[in-house]
Structure 1
């Protein structure tokens, strides 16, 4: 029997890409899944597919996690509907790649509202439940950009640095309550993310050979569920670059500057 059999997993940003793949693989392991996203029509399609394919419960909620009142309302409803929540995957997020002087203020605000404040709002709604039960798992989808910033992604990188800071602090706090906290730091993933981040398609074309498959990343996330995994870093060679950057930032910035500008 799978260790996820009978568990309940909430996934934000579940209407496409990585979130959708995490939902599929969790359901395949016998977990009940609670899928959150703005696109209710897409969530309905995914629910129909999952309930047809797997014998498990699927709950869907339309939500804009940048709106705290919506987060509070939806999570209150979830906690009334399901007996317990075992895993929260904070996957919702987006980026826009621009040089710092070109970044539009509304996009800056929106990235912080979704990537940081929305993640914190969802987490805060579930923490009392997990603390009371003295079990649970928070998985925050961050990014290699949160470890090593590059040109043309200053704001996006700043949001992911914030996610890692929050995650690392939360992990130490929640250890007292038996709740696991994991950061997932993927490199570029072949999803709809780049439709918004890079409408020109140039970055996606330049890094196509290194693009991660969402199925692979989802598999690593699902493997980490209900374990004490501190971080999931993909691909390993890119994470090695992040480690080198921590140790030798000036050297990496000088040698890698030309490659970094390829987005």
Structure 2
């Protein structure tokens, strides 16, 4: 991780769970980290909980990644304030509970697609364009995918639009990799696909009583992301699937 000292990472969905864990891990390893999320008060709490030296390297901005203009404005602010992002961790994600595809809840389903797919698209585009303008050739784009993007697990409730959105992310990652390769850049892109992670996205009150299987910690995913971005220049991890011991699906 030495080459990332004092370089800039942008992490979406930083207000809790995996995003918060990634922010803590990267600032502890010497990076300047910009956390993005809709819940600004959570970002303030995250900063206040960090040791003073790390808090000085952690910055944040309120941003809903499903809103294209907010993303454009936010990455322009990152460029102006910090010189631009060298690492992007696309972590923001959404799961619309209490619905099945046949019953509607159009707003929730559309919001899942807007956040999980288009949000990744907007953020990746803006980060790459910034790297390209600055002639950054060793940047890294990480996309937090899911095992649900490779096969649909049966957890007792419908994953509705979440699983299709993650399948789209699997394809989107490969399309982006091919585009980067065609441009002749050495910027890397990695998809991280966790199994069940004990975060707020799993609202256990809405899950059936039979929901009982092992879960990963947010810190496990943060550790994996650090591993992926610390690989040498000639190594690119395309896909990393992570499951807790004992997970069956």
State the TM-score, normalizing by the size of structure 1.
Answer: 0.83
CA distance in 1, matches of 2:55, 2:19: 20
Q: Do the aligned residues in 2 keep the contact of 1:187 with 1:235 (CA within 8 Å)?
A: yes
Aligned to 2:137: 134
Name the SS for the 1:183 alignment partner: strand
2:115 equivalent in structure 1: 114
**Shift in alpha-carbon separation, 1:105–1:153, aligned structure 2, 3 A:** same
Q: Can you list the C-alpha shifts for 1:3-50, whole angstroms capped at 9, x where unaligned?
A: 432221100000100000000011111111000001111111112223
| 1:25-104 paired onto structure 2 within 5 Å | 25-50=25-50, 52=52, 54=54, 56-97=56-97, 98-104=99-105
2:16 counterpart of 1:16: yes
Does residue 191 (structure 1) correspond to residue 199 (structure 2)? The answer is yes
CA contact (8 A) 1:144 1:238 kept: no
Q: Does the CA-based 8 Å contact 2:95-2:162 persist in structure 1? A: yes
* Aligned equivalent of 1:233, options 236, 241, 248: 241
Secondary structure (helix, strand or coil) at the match of 2:199 reads coil
**Corresponding residue for 2:159?**
153
Corresponding residue SS for 2:2: coil
Distance 1:7 1:13 in 2: 20
* Alpha-carbon distance change, 153 to 76 in structure 1, aligned in 2, over 3 angstroms: same
- Secondary structure of 1:93 counterpart: coil
Other-structure match for 1:181: 189
Query: How far apart are the structure 2 equivalents of 1:239 and 1:194?
Result: 16
| Partner SS, residue 59 of structure 1 | strand
Change (3 A) 1:103 1:225: farther
Which secondary structure state, in structure 2, belongs to the residue aligned with residue 160 of structure 1? helix
Q: Quick one: distance in 2 between partners of 1:18 and 1:191?
A: 7
Matches within 5 A, 1:196-207: 199-202=205-208, 206-207=211-212
Look up the match of 2:223: 219
Aligned pair count reads 237
CA distance in 2, matches of 1:182, 1:101: 33
Answer 1 or 2: which has greater helix percent: 1
> How far did residue 53 of structure 1 move?
5.5
1:190-240: CA deviation from partner (whole Å, max 9, x where unpaired)? 011112xx642327x623x42111111111111111532111211177999
The 1:25–1:218 alpha-carbon spacing in structure 2 relative to 1, beyond 3 Å, is same
How far is 1:100 from its partner? 2.2
The residue that corresponds to 1:250 in the other structure is none
Question: Structure 2 CA distance, aligned partners of 1:139 and 1:181?
Answer: 6
Provide the aligned C-alpha RMSD in A: 2.2
User: Is the aligned partner of 1:124 residue 2:125?
Assistant: yes
Q: Tell me the distance in 2 between the aligned counterparts of 1:240 and 1:139.
A: 26
Please, which of 179, 196, 214 is the counterpart of residue 210 of structure 1?
A: 214
Equivalent residue number for residue 146 of structure 2: 143
Q: Which runs of 5+ in 1 are unaligned?
A: 242-263
For structure 1, which segment, 185-194 or 40-49, has the greater mean C-alpha deviation from structure 2 after superposition?
40-49
